[in-house]
Structure 1
Amino acid sequence: MPLRPIRRSDHEGLNRLHRAVGWPERSPAGWRWLEDNPARQDLDAPMGWVVADEQDRPAAMLGNFVQRFRLGSRRLHAATGFSIIVPPERKGASRGLIRALMAQPRLFARYTFNANPRSAPLYKLFGLSPWPDKTHHLKLSWIVDPMACAQGRALRHLLGRISAETAARLGERLMNRRLFHPEPMRLPADITPLRDFSDSSPYDAFWRALTQEDRLLADRSPEVLRWRLADPDLTIPPLLLACVQGGRIVGVAQALMTKTSLIEPPCLDILDLVALKDAPDAVARLTRGLIDNARSLGAAKVRLQTVTPDLLDALGELGVQARREGGWGHCHALIDDPALAAAWAPTPFDGDYGVCARTPPLPRVLRARLRAATPAGQVSKA
C-alpha cells in the first residue's frame, strides 16, 4: 500500500472518503484554504498523506494541521493529525499514516486532542501519552435546551450506530430556525462582539500582551485569525467575544455552531478561551456570555472539548456546574522538551476542531438564494 503526500488532484478522492463515513466534505475553495495555512507554508509541510490504491487514488488518509506557537520571542511549530479515515479493507494503514505525521522535522510536539474511544489506545504505540496529565479525559458541557438534548439521546438509542448511507436517507434532524435567524445577543457591558482583526487593532494589542506572558500559546495573531475566519465552507461564521476592562481587551472567546451528525442537536462548541493573567475573572465571564445566549442562537448545549487544570480553575463555579463528558483519553501528545510541556496552555484552538468540525447545513431556501447571488465562476459558501 504506497503512502504519499496529499496532492491537489486528490481532493475529490478525499471527499469520497469523507462521504463514506458521513463526515463533512470540502469545496475546492475549502481545500485551497487548508493549503493556505500560514503555519504549513512556514515549513512547506504536506497537507497530509494518503494510502493510494492501484490507480493511485486515495484509499485512506490523514490530514496534517500545522500550527505556529509562541513562547515569549520564540516561534515554534507543532502538528496534529485530523480526519484519519481508514476503510475496513485497508486495515492496518493507519500505522503508516501516523508514522508519517510523527516523522515530520522541526516540530516541538505531535499530538491529537480529538481521539475517539476506539482510536485512543492506538496513539500510545507511537510514543504519545495522555496529556494534560489531570484533564486529558475531560470534556465540559452546559445544557441550555434539555428537550433537544433528550430528543438527540432518543434518536441515538433508537438508531444506534448507523451507516452514512442510512443517515443520509433519514435526512437532517433536530434543526431549528434560530440557527440562521438568531435572536439578538444580550451581553453585559464588559463583554462585546469582536470583529476587528486588523494589524494594530485592540485585538492585536491583546495578542501582543499575551505573548509577553510566560506560557506557550498557539498563534492567535491577527494574521492567523484572518485566515481561520476565511474558511469558505463554514455555513455559520464563528462567534468571537471580547472581555474589555479598563479600555483594553483582557480576554477572548471563540465559539462555533456545530452539528456532529444528522441526528445530533446543534451545539455551540467553544474553540478558544484565553485571558491575560491579570484578568482572572475574564474566562468565566466570557463563558457565561456564551451560555446565556446559546439557546437564542440555536444551540442545545455549550461544549468545551479541551481543558487544562488552570482553565478549569479559571471557570470557577461554572466548571463545578458543568456536565463531565468524555471519559477516555481524547488528548494525547508527544512533546520533545518537558519545559515546553509545562509551559503549554492549550485550548480547543490548538486542536483540529476549527478545521474539521461539521457546521449545520444551510436550509434549501438559503442555498438557492446563495447560488442565485453568486456570480458565475465564483464559489459560494453553500
Structure 2
Amino acid sequence: MSFSVRPIDANDHGAINALHRSVGWPTRSLTGWDWLAGNPARLETKAPAGWLLEAEDGEPCGLTGNFVQRFHHGGGMLHGATGFSIIVTPRARGRSVKLLTTFTKQTDLFALYTFNANPASSPLYKRHGLVAWPPETHDVKLSWRIDPFACAGGRLWREIDRHAPRLTQARSERLLNPRLHDPDRLDLPEEVTVLTDLADGSRYADFWETLKAEGRLIADRSPAMLRWRLADPDLTLRPLMLAFNRGATIGGYAMAMMSKGNPIEPPMLEIVDLVALEDEPRAIPALIHALLANARRLGAAKLRIQTVSPTLLRRMGPLADTARREGGWGHCHVKFDPETPGVETWSPTPFDGDYGICLRPVPVAAEHRRAA
C-alpha cells in the first residue's frame, strides 16, 4: 500500500475533524479552521497550514498541522513553525515518518519544533534532526494542585476508563464546576490588574515595544497578534490576561485559559504565556501568585504551565519548588537553522508552541459562551 502527502486545504476540514475524533482530540468548527488558516504569520511565509497523508485510494490516514509564528531578534523578524496534531490511523501505522519528513524539510524558518510531544511520539523527533531542548527543562511541566477532590475524581475516572472504557464512552462531561460559568470577582493584589486594552496605542503596546527592544529572541506578542489569538471562534471562555504594573507602565503579563483535556478530566487553568521585562524581578512571582489565588474561583482543579525554560524557572524563585513536576519525557524538541544567531536567548513559554490553539476549551452552554 502506497501513501502520499499533500498540503491541506479548506475542503479537508471534515476529514481533519474525523482524524481528531479518532484519537479523542478536540475538533474545530469550520469557521475555526478558517481562522487558523488565516494566521497572519503563515500567510507571510506562504507555508502550508499542514499536510494530509492519503492512501492510494484517497482515504485520509494521517495529518500534521503547521503553526507558523513571527519572532523578533535584534531589530529583525524571523519565522518559526511548530508541528501539531500529528495523527496516523492504524491503516497507515509507521507512516508518520512521511509527515515528519515533510514538516522538517521546510526552509526559511529559524526553527522547526514541537513543545507538546507525547511519550509515544517523543522518540521519533530525534530521527528527523530535532533535539531535546532546552537541555535542562525539555521534560518539565509544572502544576499546582488547587482542588484535591476534583483531581482525585479525575484519577478515578481514568482508572475506570482504563479497565472498563465502555463506562466512559457516553462522553458526557464529568467534573464540571459551576463556577466556570459565573466566576466570583477576582481577588488581585494591588500591583496586578486584568488586562483588557490591546489597542495599538495601549500600555500593553508600550510594554511589547520595551520587551522587544531588550534584544532577546522572542515570539510576536504584539497587540495585533494577541487580538488575532483572542478572535479564535472556538474559544468558549475568554482567556484571563493579567498585567503586573509598576506605576503607569506594565512590567510583565500572563495569559491563562481554562481547558478540559477530555470529558472525564476536571478543568485546568493553563498558563499559556508568562513574560516580564528583564529588570522586573517581581512580576513573574506576583502573576503566578495572582493566578493561584484565583484558580479555585474560576473552577480549576489545577494551575499548570506545560513549557518551562531555565530562565523562567529561575525567575519563579521559590514558587517553582512548590509545584509538582509533571511530564518526565522529552516533550520539547527543536531543529534550529544553524545560520540563525541568538537562539540561546530564546526563553519559550506555551505561547510559543501549539497550546494556545490546541487546548480543548471547557464546554459551556450557549448563553454563557455569548456572555464570555
TM-score tier, shorter chain, comes to: over 0.9
Residue in structure 2 matched with residue 40 of structure 1 by the alignment: 42
Residue in structure 2 matched with residue 132 of structure 1 by the alignment: 134
Structure 1 residue 57 displacement after superposition: 4.6
Q: Distance in 2 between matches of 1:267 and 1:155?
A: 16
| 2:361 aligns with one of 359, 362, 365 | 359
Given that 2:52 and 2:62 are in contact with CA atoms closer than 8 Å, whether structure 1 keeps it comes out as yes
Structure 1 residue 201 displacement after superposition: 0.8
Residue in structure 2 matched with residue 192 of structure 1 by the alignment: 193
Given that 1:148 and 1:300 are in contact with CA atoms closer than 8 Å, whether structure 2 keeps it comes out as yes
Given that 1:10 and 1:57 are in contact with CA atoms closer than 8 Å, whether structure 2 keeps it comes out as no
Query: Compared with structure 1, are the counterparts of its residues 255 and 86 closer, same or farther at alpha carbon in structure 2 (3 Å cutoff)?
Result: same
SS of 2:334's partner is strand
Residue in structure 2 matched with residue 30 of structure 1 by the alignment: 32
Residue in structure 2 matched with residue 157 of structure 1 by the alignment: 159
Given that 1:259 and 1:267 are in contact with CA atoms closer than 8 Å, whether structure 2 keeps it comes out as yes
Structure 1 residue 55 displacement after superposition: 5.0
Q: Distance in 2 between matches of 1:23 and 1:117?
A: 16
Residue in structure 1 matched with residue 296 of structure 2 by the alignment: 295
Residue in structure 2 matched with residue 377 of structure 1 by the alignment: none
Structure 1 residue 340 displacement after superposition: 2.9
Given that 1:271 and 1:354 are in contact with CA atoms closer than 8 Å, whether structure 2 keeps it comes out as yes
SS of 1:14's partner is helix
Residue in structure 2 matched with residue 269 of structure 1 by the alignment: 270
SS of 2:143's partner is strand
Residue in structure 1 matched with residue 285 of structure 2 by the alignment: 284
| 2:88 aligns with one of 86, 89, 92 | 86
Residue in structure 1 matched with residue 170 of structure 2 by the alignment: 169
Structure 1 unaligned runs (5+)? 374-379
State the percentage of identical aligned residues: 52
Structure 1 residue 339 displacement after superposition: 3.9
Q: Distance in 1 between matches of 2:257 and 2:44?
A: 27
Structure 1 residue 158 displacement after superposition: 2.5
Structure 1 residue 161 displacement after superposition: 7.7
Residue in structure 2 matched with residue 226 of structure 1 by the alignment: 227
User: Which amino acid in structure 1 is aligned with residue 292 of structure 2?
Assistant: I
Residue in structure 1 matched with residue 249 of structure 2 by the alignment: 248
Structure 1 residue 53 displacement after superposition: 3.4
Given that 2:259 and 2:268 are in contact with CA atoms closer than 8 Å, whether structure 1 keeps it comes out as yes
Q: Distance in 2 between matches of 1:215 and 1:248?
A: 20
Instruction: Give the TM-score, by structure 1 length.
Output: 0.93
User: Which amino acid in structure 2 is aligned with residue 86 of structure 1?
Assistant: V
Q: Distance in 2 between matches of 1:87 and 1:173?
A: 28
Residue in structure 2 matched with residue 310 of structure 1 by the alignment: 311
Residue in structure 2 matched with residue 6 of structure 1 by the alignment: 8
Query: Compared with structure 1, are the counterparts of its residues 133 and 55 closer, same or farther at alpha carbon in structure 2 (3 Å cutoff)?
Result: same
Q: Distance in 1 between matches of 2:110 and 2:182?
A: 43
> Which range moves more in the overlay, 147-156 or 294-303?
147-156
What does the per-residue CA deviation read over 1:72-113, in whole Å, with 9 as the maximum and x for residues that have no partner?
A: 211000000011111111112211111111111110100000
Q: Distance in 1 between matches of 2:26 and 2:156?
A: 23
What does the per-residue CA deviation read over 1:160-205, in whole Å, with 9 as the maximum and x for residues that have no partner?
A: 2877x87441411111111111111000111000011111111110
User: Which amino acid in structure 2 is aligned with residue 356 of structure 1?
Assistant: C
Query: Compared with structure 1, are the counterparts of its residues 178 and 206 closer, same or farther at alpha carbon in structure 2 (3 Å cutoff)?
Result: same
Instruction: Give the TM-score, by structure 2 length.
Output: 0.95
What does the per-residue CA deviation read over 1:290-339, in whole Å, with 9 as the maximum and x for residues that have no partner?
A: 01100110100100111111101111111111111111111111112374
Structure 1 residue 51 displacement after superposition: 0.8
Structure 2 unaligned runs (5+)? none
Residue in structure 1 matched with residue 213 of structure 2 by the alignment: 212
SS of 2:342's partner is helix
SS of 1:100's partner is helix
Q: Distance in 1 between matches of 2:368 and 2:156?
A: 34
Structure 1 residue 277 displacement after superposition: 0.7
SS of 2:24's partner is coil
SS of 1:278's partner is coil
Given that 1:197 and 1:222 are in contact with CA atoms closer than 8 Å, whether structure 2 keeps it comes out as yes
SS of 1:64's partner is strand
Given that 2:158 and 2:264 are in contact with CA atoms closer than 8 Å, whether structure 1 keeps it comes out as yes
Q: Distance in 2 between matches of 1:162 and 1:299?
A: 27
User: Which amino acid in structure 2 is aligned with residue 23 of structure 1?
Assistant: W
Query: Compared with structure 1, are the counterparts of its residues 122 and 236 closer, same or farther at alpha carbon in structure 2 (3 Å cutoff)?
Result: same
User: Which amino acid in structure 1 is aligned with residue 222 of structure 2?
Assistant: S
Say how many residue pairs are matched: 369
Q: Distance in 2 between matches of 1:19 and 1:222?
A: 33
Residue in structure 1 matched with residue 62 of structure 2 by the alignment: 60
Query: Compared with structure 1, are the counterparts of its residues 312 and 370 closer, same or farther at alpha carbon in structure 2 (3 Å cutoff)?
Result: closer
Structure 1 residue 49 displacement after superposition: 0.0
Query: Compared with structure 1, are the counterparts of its residues 213 and 6 closer, same or farther at alpha carbon in structure 2 (3 Å cutoff)?
Result: same
Given that 1:52 and 1:59 are in contact with CA atoms closer than 8 Å, whether structure 2 keeps it comes out as yes
Given that 2:160 and 2:167 are in contact with CA atoms closer than 8 Å, whether structure 1 keeps it comes out as no
